Amino acid sequence: MTGIEQRAVCSGVNFRSIRDDRFKTIRMSVHFLWPLAKETVSENSILPFLLSRASRKYPDFSKLNAHLAELYGAVLDANVQKLGDIQVLSVSASGIADRYSLNGESVSAELAKLLCSIIFDPPLENGLFPVQGFEQEKRQLIEMVDSEFNDKRMYAKLKCEELMCAKEPYGIGRCGTRQQIQELKREDLTQVWENLIHRAKAEIMVLGDCDPEPVYQDFYAAFQNLARTDSVDCPNQSVPSAASAAETTEKMDVVQSKLVMGFRTACAEPDAGVPAMKLFNALFGGTPSSKLFLNVREKLSLCYYCSSQFNPMKGILLVQSGVETKNIDRAKQEILNQLEEVQKGSFDENELAAAKLSLCNSYRTLSDSLDGLEAWYLSQTFRPKVKRPEEEAELVNAVTREQVIEAARKLTLDTVYRLEGSGVEA
């Protein structure tokens, strides 16, 4: 890696380049950050997909795709995700590194111009987004929400988060509900777009082997033309502990039942204890050598799968398992037993070393892909000091046995969600 550069574009807009000449491709993205709210979540979520369809200069798919083909098969994509209590709306472009162009063209500079074109100059018709594009993206957004419902493992996880964080913005789905999307009106979206480009915080990222300066200059000019003022605040709240555990059971005609247990960890970014909590998670249920996998799944055969996932932005940890309905209570008790084992220090140095090795390797391999690097540095947005993945690996490696036990003892069970099936899929 040749270097990481970070500088401001204007109020609330940050530019970061991660230059690495190992890659033959480049990727650049604009991530708009907006506080999650029921009133705005769905209208915001459709925007990146709507914007990535066309611009005034390339007003339809044919012209846009022809230009992408000219740029050696470059690709545009859009995404919506959550970063703690913040909705992240992303538009990205990927293409070959400049040194591989046949006639010395700067692919990176052209992609920057294209991104500026689609984000800041959409093909509005009488001040509105084209009706055909709006209806199509609305339909596809509904299909995306439906697909998450149809994937029962994903649905159970999202449902547990919704119940657990019902009083926090994080409990809102990244795209809102199906009904909210159906009720979207084309007439409202121009103002939503104006609001976003003028007031949202933004992270511009350029990754791969290219000169970031022309890219910076294009986005600098685009944002300066907006005459932005102060950007919207993006707070993130973390509930330290649960007073008691709430249990919810939902029944569906599915073959495999799901059990999701949500824990509060009293530890969230930028707390100094986050590396220890990450290592605890790896030891507890985050790897194939973890307590949950080896005992609950393999030794006792109580689950088809059983794993844990720690969200450092929210300070919550979820244990997800697929079980037969008759085994739900036993699986729940054994998961709590394994947590108690870690809290008592009932793990040896080999288990701790295996957890460290697995977690540190995952950080070291992040730099093998542009997507992995982008996800990492986006997750660092609200840290006072940005860390490289290698630095995080060093912090994890330095965690002691006592710190893992201390992290485990912070967990309190907040929510238990059961999706009970009849054994027959509808």
Whole-angstrom Cα distance, residue 197 to residue 30?
11
What is the number of other CB atoms lying within 10 angstroms of the CB of residue 334? 22
Q: For 353-395, what is each residue's pLDDT tens digit?
A: 999 999 999 999 998 999 999 999 999 888 888 889 999 999 9
**260 has pLDDT over 80:** yes
CA 411 from chain center: how many Å? Answer: 23
Question: Which residue do the tokens 């690996």 mark?
Answer: 393
Q: What are phi and psi of 237, to 5 degrees?
A: -110, 150
Please report which confidence band the pLDDT of residue 183 belongs to, taking 50, 70 and 90 as the band edges: very high
The full set of domain ranges for the chain reads 3-224, 246-421
What is the number of other CB atoms lying within 10 angstroms of the CB of residue 179? 10
Q: Which residues are 310's β-sheet partners?
A: 317
Q: What is the mean pLDDT of residues 230-235?
A: 88
Residue 312 corresponds to which tokens in the numbers above?
Answer: 């450092």
Nearest residue to 83 (alpha-carbon basis) of 262, 234, 205, 206: 234
Q: For 339-356, what is each residue's pLDDT tens digit?
A: 999 999 999 999 999 999
Q: Read off the amino acid at residue 114.
A: L
* CATH for the 3-224 domain, from 3.40.50.2000, 3.20.20.70, 1.10.10.10, 3.30.830.10: 3.30.830.10
Whole-angstrom Cα distance, residue 384 to residue 130?
41
Q: What is the mean pLDDT of residues 182-205?
A: 96
Whether the pTM exceeds 0.75: the reply is: yes
CB 299 within 8 A of CB 293: no
Q: What is the mean pLDDT of residues 43-63?
A: 95
Per-position b or e across 346-373, b if 16+ CB within 10 A of its CB? ebeeebbebbbebbbebbeebbeebebb
Q: What is the mean pLDDT of residues 320-327?
A: 96
**243 has pLDDT over 60:** yes
CA 94 from chain center: how many Å? Answer: 19
Output the pLDDT for position 330: 96
Question: Which residue do the tokens 């194939």 mark?
Answer: 288
Output the pLDDT for position 2: 59
Whole-angstrom Cα distance, residue 46 to residue 180?
11
Q: For 89-117, what is each residue's pLDDT tens digit?
A: 999 999 999 999 998 889 999 999 999 99
Output the pLDDT for position 426: 43
**248 has pLDDT over 90:** yes
Nearest residue to 275 (alpha-carbon basis) of 410, 393, 357, 365: 393
Which SS3 state, helix, strand or coil, does residue 392 take? Answer: helix
Q: For 55-96, what is each residue's pLDDT tens digit?
A: 999 999 899 999 999 999 999 999 999 999 999 999 999 999
Whole-angstrom Cα distance, residue 316 to residue 262?
7
**206 has pLDDT over 80:** yes
**178 has pLDDT over 90:** yes
CB 334 within 8 A of CB 319: no
Q: What are phi and psi of 366, to 5 degrees?
A: -60, -35
Whole-angstrom Cα distance, residue 264 to residue 317?
6
Q: Give every CB contact of residue 223 below 8 A, 6+ residues apart in sequence.
A: 9, 10, 13, 202
Q: What is the mean pLDDT of residues 392-406?
A: 97
The dihedral built from the CA positions of residue 411, 417, 422 and 423, taken in this order, carries a sign that is: negative
Identical fold at 3-224 and 246-421? yes
CB 325 within 8 A of CB 421: yes
Q: What are phi and psi of 83, to 5 degrees?
A: -125, 90
**196 has pLDDT over 80:** yes
Per DSSP bridges, beta strands 25-35 and 86-96 are: antiparallel
Output the pLDDT for position 422: 73
**425 has pLDDT over 60:** no
Q: Which residues are 201's β-sheet partners?
A: 33
- Give, for 203, the enclosing helix (H) or strand (E): strand 201-208
* CATH for the 246-421 domain, from 1.20.120.450, 3.30.70.120, 3.40.630.30, 3.30.830.10: 3.30.830.10
Output the pLDDT for position 407: 97
**147 has pLDDT over 80:** yes
Whole-angstrom Cα distance, residue 289 to residue 181?
42
Whole-angstrom Cα distance, residue 173 to residue 267?
23
* Backbone φ/ψ region at 368: left (φ over 0), alpha (ψ -120 to 50), beta: alpha
- Give, for 294, the enclosing helix (H) or strand (E): none
Output the pLDDT for position 423: 56
Mean pLDDT of the chain: 94
